[in-house]
Amino acid sequence: MVKPRENRVPIMMSDEELNLVDDWRFKNRVATRSESVRRLCHIGLTFDEHRAEFVEAFKGQYEELTKALAILADMVQGQDATEREKALGQIVLRTISKQISSLVLVRVITGIANNAKADRDIEDILKDTRELTDGLSDEFHDRQTGPDAD
């Protein structure tokens, strides 16, 4: 059973912020704008509660994976590698590349969350967020699918 909502929180939002909420609402098939705001607050609070864990869990992995990627690329291209080793190496190279892409995504998203907590004007925060995320989705998709996907 849903608890009655007895507390009103009047807030003012810019047209851009409201459009972002509405876009999220329609994309996620949420019935009302109020419910969308409640869900987005819950998502944000949950993420923020675990943000430091994300940062800690992925610390150092990017550097290690990029080192492994370089070593493996040299090995796969080496003349001593058998065809079977080269084929396996290509699979592992793609897997590591996807992992690096995922790490970059986590770092960008946690960076955006850190930026949102800064004591700055919301318009500046939104501008910085747009700059960080412009093309991020396309780049992430391209790295996940890779050139051999077609």
Domain containing residue 42: 13-50
Residues 124, 75 share a domain: yes
Orientation angle between helical segments 33-58 and 83-116, nearest 10 degrees? 120
Percent of the chain's residues with pLDDT above 70: 88
Q: Are residues 68 and 120 in the same domain?
A: yes
Judgement on whether residues 73 and 142 belong to the same structural domain of the protein: yes
3-state helix, strand, coil in the chain (%, to 5): 75, 0, 25
Residue 110's CB: how many other CB atoms inside 10 A? 19
22-40 confidence digits (pLDDT tens): 999 999 999 999 999 999 9
Residues 75 and 121 in one domain: yes
> Per-residue pLDDT averaged across 57-85, rounded?
84
Together in a domain, 31 and 65: no
d(CA 42, CA 97): 32
Do residues 36 and 64 both lie within one domain? no
Q: How many domains does the chain have?
A: 2
Which residue has better confidence, 35 or 59? 35
